[in-house]
């Protein structure tokens, strides 16, 4: 079966760059949702701990439970709030407040312009009152930026909305020990971070920035590479056709091998529509099958990609999708 190599040195390198910006390991929350962006949830939790991070962000409570031994604090983005000393739960709506278990630690998400999740700014007072009534423990107030990775001033406008919100929250609540956070990787790349209580660091830790080049402020290194093993080799005469539909015709005598990666492993079949070229400059020949691809090579192992940003550009998608969709069945090896 195809497999994944995880480069620990590159991961630590990326984390160090962001820690330099925040000034503290304590304020960096490593985002481990969706199998740690395909890198492997438990493996990346272990490495994050070894590096010295104490906080993580996940989507589900089940993910949080898996990584509890590795962190002091875990923020759950997408499950109902229950009482767990180690976890805080995102409140995405007034309804979430009513569903929350009494005594749960919560972080209120406010919609400052993305219009995906969070209560409206106008609901703030009602929400804070309901949180108090329900005897929930408010740990933080947060928002999410809609265009941090685009070349525009929208990020600054949205930050301004959030800054005003902080003041409003402070004026409503007398106690001051609430954290505020809005930064994802792109925001952290573009803006100073030393005054942030907490940043939610996802894609940047894994080595990617989808920002236009002018924002390349940090030197990030991809952590993941995807590999496949040779299954068999055959010599084909000129004019033979390869794979389902025989869409590729050999232009000359070719030595072609089958490798054990397919769309069943989270590789996109749409790469059959355009010629995907591996990082070792080998074009995919014909259609991708469920478990196989064909390449002109006799190598025992081939590297399919070692940079998801470049690979994604060939397939009309973003680095996030290239790595997140990789099947959890694939073995992850630490190098
Ligand atoms: C996924 C996610 C992040 C991390 O975003 P990156 O762009 O990968 O850094 C931060 N905050 C929230 C709410 C998210 O859902």
pLDDT (0 to 100) of residue 275: 79
pLDDT (0 to 100) of residue 88: 98
pLDDT (0 to 100) of residue 272: 58
Low-confidence ranges of the chain (pLDDT < 70): 175-176, 271-273
44 annotated to a ligand binding site: no
Best residue for ligand 1 mutational test, from 142, 202, 205 (most atoms within 8 Å of Cβ):
202
**Is any atom of ligand 1 closer than 6 Å to the C-beta of 29?**
no
Query: 24: part of which helix (H) or strand (E)?
Result: none
Q: Does domain 8-206 correspond to CATH entry 3.40.50.10310?
A: no
Rounded to the nearest whole angstrom, what is the distance from the C-alpha of residue 26 to the centroid of ligand 1?
A: 18
Does the annotation mark 244 as catalytic? yes
pLDDT (0 to 100) of residue 151: 74
Domain extent listing, the chain? 8-206, 224-334
Q: Can you read off the two tokens belonging to residue 70? A: 């590795």
Angle between helices 41-51 and 8-22 (to 10 degrees): 50
User: Under a CB-based contact definition with an 8 Å cutoff, are residues 215 and 201 in contact?
Assistant: no
pLDDT (0 to 100) of residue 273: 64
Q: Does domain 224-334 correspond to CATH entry 1.20.950.20?
A: no
Which atom of ligand 1 is found nearest the CA of 210?
A: 7
Region for 210 from its dihedrals, namely left if φ exceeds 0, alpha if ψ lies in -120 to 50, beta otherwise: alpha
pLDDT in tens, 198-221: 999 999 999 999 988 877 789 999
Q: Does 224-334 match 8-206 at the fold level?
A: no
pTM exceeds 0.85 for this model: yes
Contacts 24+ apart (CB under 8 A), 230-239: 230/257, 230/258, 230/259, 230/260, 230/297, 230/298, 230/299, 230/300, 230/301, 230/302, 231/257, 231/258, 231/259, 231/260, 231/292, 232/257, 232/258, 233/257, 233/258, 233/298
Q: Which of 21, 33, 109, 139 is catalytic?
A: 33
116 annotated to a ligand binding site: yes
**Is any atom of ligand 1 closer than 6 Å to the C-beta of 202?**
yes
pLDDT (0 to 100) of residue 212: 85
């Amino acid at each position: 079966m195809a497999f994944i190599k995880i480069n620990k040195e590159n991961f630590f390198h990326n984390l160090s760059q962001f820690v330099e910006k925040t000034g503290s390991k304590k304020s960096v929350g490593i985002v481990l949702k969706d199998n740690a962006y395909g890198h492997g949830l438990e493996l990346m939790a272990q490495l994050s701990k070894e590096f010295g991070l104490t906080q993580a962000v996940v989507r589900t409570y089940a993910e949080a439970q898996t990584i509890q031994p590795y962190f002091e604090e875990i923020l759950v983005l997408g499950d109902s709030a229950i009482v767990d000393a180690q976890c805080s739960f995102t409140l995405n709506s007034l309804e979430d407040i009513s569903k929350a278990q009494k005594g749960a630690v919560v972080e209120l998400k406010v919609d400052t312009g993305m219009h995906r999740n969070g209560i409206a700014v106008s609901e703030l007072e009602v929400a804070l009152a309901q949180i108090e009534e329900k005897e929930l423990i408010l740990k933080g107030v947060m928002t999410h930026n809609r265009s941090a990775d685009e070349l525009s001033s929208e990020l600054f406008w949205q930050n301004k909305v959030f800054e005003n919100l902080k003041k409003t929250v402070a004026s409503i609540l007398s106690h001051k020990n609430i954290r505020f956070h809005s930064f994802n990787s792109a925001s952290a790349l573009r803006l100073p971070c030393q005054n942030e209580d907490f940043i939610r660091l996802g894609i940047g830790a894994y080595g990617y920035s989808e920002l236009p080049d002018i924002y390349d402020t940090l030197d990030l290194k991809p952590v993941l590479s995807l590999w496949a093993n040779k299954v068999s080799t055959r010599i084909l005469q000129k004019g033979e056709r390869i794979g389902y539909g025989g869409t590729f015709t050999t232009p000359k005598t070719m030595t072609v091998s089958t490798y054990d990666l397919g769309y069943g492993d989270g590789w996109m079949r749409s790469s059959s529509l355009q010629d995907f070229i591996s990082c070792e400059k080998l074009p995919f020949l014909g259609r991708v099958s469920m478990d196989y691809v064909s390449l002109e090579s006799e190598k025992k192992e081939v590297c399919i990609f070692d940079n998801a940003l470049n690979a994604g550009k060939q397939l009309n998608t973003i680095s996030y999708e290239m790595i997140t969709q990789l099947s959890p069945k694939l073995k992850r090896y630490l190098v």
